[in-house]
Structure formats: C-alpha cells, structure tokens
Structure 1
C-alpha cells in the first residue's frame, strides 16, 4: 500500500513544471469568469452578485501572488529552518550532518528516518534476546511444569511468584516491543511519504484548488499541510530529539590591526584572541539492553512514540492558523485535534 502511495511522486515528478502553470491558468480563468459575473451583476443592478464577484476576483489575485512567490517562500522557509536544525543528529553509531542549503529538509528527513530505524533495530535486537536466550526459554519451560500424583497437583510453575513475575515481564516486554516495531516502521514509511509529496504535490495542488470558490477550503488545507509538514514538522522533530547537537556558531572575525600601532609591539592591537567552539559529545551509541527496557519501558515508550506526536500537534497549530490566513475553515481540523488530544 505504501508503495502505491509513494508512487504518486513518480507520476507527478514534474509538478513544478506542470501544476504551477496549471494553477496560474486556473487563476486567470477564475478572474475571467468572475469578470463576466461582475458585468452581469452591474447590468441587472444585483449588488450582492457584484460584491461576491469582486471578492472572488481578489481571492484569485491573492492565489496568483501565492503561486508566483512560491519559489521565494520555499527558499525563505528553507533558510529559516536551516538556522534551527543545522547540526548533527546521532543515529546508531554514526552521525548525520544537517547542512544549511537547498537540501537541508531532505537531510532532516533522512536524519528522522535514520533515528526511527535505529531505534527499531535496537528494539528488534532486544526482542531477539528474549527469543534466543536459553536462560529465558528455560524459565518459560519451568513456568509450564505441572506435577501431579494420582491426579492431585503437587507442583505448578505458576505457584512461584518470582518466576511468574519474571516471565510475565518478559512477555509484556515482547508484546510491547512488537507494537512499537510496527508503529516505528509505519512512521518511517509515513516520513518518506511526506518528504516525497508535500512539496511537489500538496502545495501546487492546493494552489490549484484554492483558485475556485467551492474548493477554497480544501485548497487552503493542502497548502497549509504542505508547508507545515514539509518545513515545520521536521524542525520540531529534530529540535525535540535528544540526539540532536546544534552546529557551533561561526568563530568571531579576527580584530583588525590598527594602521598606526603604539610604540611598543605589546601595546598594539595586533594580538587577538581566537575562540574555538567545538561541538559537544553525541552521547552514548550503545543499544538498548534487555534490562534497560524492563526497567524503563515507560520512558522508551514516551521517547519513541509520543515524541513524533508532540511534533505533529505543534505542527497542526501552525496549520490551523495558516488555513485561516488562506481562507480555509479550521473548525473540523480543530475538532479532530481536540478529540485526539
């Protein structure tokens, strides 16, 4: 199913060359149509129709400005995002460098996917320990031992409270790890879908739909989602990630040597102090051990599952206000978010 969704990007690979001119054609068509409506309203003195036609013509002009300045908007958004997420993200035993430039959002999405996949690999390794450890298998076998004499039970493995608690903890960890792995892999595929389609599909298609009166709401939603999920969501996700280390600030420029130094060389300002800023450590890259998961399962759940949700809800706040600016109805979106939260 994800392959089918991701293939949309393949069919619409030339969105910047096809959808944006199509959006401009739709804007011009809308202006021509509402010009005719305005002439009809003036001819028959229908003031409500005149007002509606003028409003729609202004909406079409604003949509045209959005389409024309979209390249500038995207470039500015990338520059602003680069100021926040430029740095390194720890991923397994390696680190991914997020560099400022046109490809910064692709680097951010790659870092997010790598973080999700590394955590999934750690969980899979911990889960495999449960399945392959002979000591754990022996405990489960001991739990299932039942001894009886002439039909009367003498011993049941479940009677040992310590054995029962330990094996039950292994079972809970195994089930929770399975659910987490399913969710993490789904998140990884969804992140790839956002990277491929938000900028190339949602924003141009939203501009096209916003050109018409009856589809202005869905168009505003698609534009807001495209901008929010492509630019805002990765920024929040990376900033909230404990494995993110911001890039060190640029070193200060050396002081200029005075044209007329003092009599003594030590009094001239030719001696300057250069401050070197080094990036801090990236933390431990060791995997999740079985004991760590057993003792801190709730912490891992928050870090692996709720972290993307927090970034998503913060992004929806931006999407809501962006929809209001673009003329969309935010009631249904607000109701959905309030129910989820």
Structure 2
C-alpha cells in the first residue's frame, strides 16, 4: 500500500517552491495526508488556528498531525505578541517545520479579533509579533499577507510592511497578489474581485532578495505556476482552491516543479492508501465523511465521477460507514478493474 514518503522531504527553502495554501475548514490533517500521498515535495499548511485557541484550547486536537505530512507549516492568527509567543512555544513541541502568521484573511470574524488582513495597516505591531514568535522557537517564522488593503497605495504601503517584516527577522513572505477590501466586499468576493497584480509581488521579490517571496492568488494551473517561477524573481508559488478541488494535479508537482522522478500515483493507489488511513483513524474516533469530504475531486473528468462523489459524500456519512465505502466509490470510475478482481 503506498504511503506518504516524508523521508524524501526537501529542505524547507526548497519546499516553498510549491505550497498548498492554508484554507479554513479545508486543509485539516485528513486533507494534508491525502495531499502528501500525491506530492512528496510540496509544503503543506494547516488551517489557520488562533493563538488564543492554542493557548487555552484542546492542543492535541488543534495541533496534532501525522509525521508523514511533513514538511508542514502551522498558520497562526493573532495580534498579541505575548500570546503569539506562547502559542509558538506550544506548537514548537509538535514539530512543525515552519510557523506562519496570517496577515491576509479578510473575514469580518477575523477583523473583529484584530488579526488577519486588517493588520496590514499596523506593520509595527506585526513586526513586534514576528519578533516575539522568533524568540519562542528556532523554527522559521514567516508571514502571509496581501499587497494592501482598502485605499492603501500598494507601492508605498507594501514596501513599508515588508521592510518591517525584514527588520523583525522574518524568514519568508507569502504574498496574495490582491488587495483585501475590508469594507464592502465579502471574504468570497475578496478572492476574485480585487484585481491581481503579479508584477507588484515580483518587484517586491526582486527588491527583498535573497529573502524568499512566494506568490499566491488566482494561479489555476501548473502551467501558470511554472511560468511565474520561470520569470526568476519569485521563490515559490502557492495554490489554494484549485489544488483542493482538483487534487490529482498535485501528482505532477514533484516532476514538473521540483525536477525529481515522479512516483506513479494512480487513483487506485491513492484510494487504497486512504482506505488504510481511514481504518486507522476510525479506530481513533474519526468519522469517515470527515475524511472522504476532501476526496470528492479525485475522479473529476472520469466516467462515473458523479456516482463516485455521491458515494463519498452520502454513503460515507451513514452510521457505521467504513473504508469499504471508498473502494465502492472507486468501482464507479474503474468498473473494469472491479470486475476483474
């Protein structure tokens, strides 16, 4: 049965060449295990976890992960330097490869907690947070941000923000190449309406070299990712929703972007491995549909994909559902193999 091969993990600076973005309610540990089956090299991110939750909440549930997921970065949300330092100290013991601070999320809930994209207006406070986090760990501390917010001049304000991060000792920046409009646009609209400005991120990357700057936002194909990297300024690309909804694209990442021999990862290999993982996780109290919900896009474009998705979403939610549900879903898209067995 194929397993994630974290023993082949690249150095972190190399892994940042391609990463899967942190996405609330999506990039949990089950999702990351699936993604690691498809790529040995990419850097994976957790969902954002707030510093108060880490300090006061159920730590193992919030921070626990399978070592096979590595390299994996933890994304924290917060704006209190002392609390972020404590959360970083706690997370350090779990063995994450990198601790990342969210300065990009535009949601109202995040703004009300004074973290996320609204902190783009307070670079000095963010720098203080980064310094506090760096003082609490020997692991790299990075920041994910936007090119600006609301009416900011993205030339002046982004440079000012980035320079503050460099002064605080940040190890890398991940920059979403859109402004965040905190007034008047929903979080969903903030993913599409503000115009993309890749050249602005590339100018920043050239100015800050050799600091690693990775770009995020609107990158929908590996062709587009390769083209951005080929221009030379950027250290990495980060894909979000498309990597989640079309996960099989990750099976091409190692060969195309890292230049390493590509392991054969057939759909059957992946489903079989996830069935084994599910059996283990169900024994620990997990629900099958919390695992299969991340797998719905695996068969996109194949005959039988609709039935595949239906089984993984409906049948997996039934009481007592087990790993055999995954194998039954696979039979919908590979009936000839099922008949031969």
Q: TM-score, normalised by structure 1?
A: 0.18
Higher strand share: 2
Larger Rg: 1
Tell which has more relative contact order, 1 or 2 (C-alpha 8 A, sep 6+).
1
Q: TM-score, normalised by structure 2?
A: 0.18
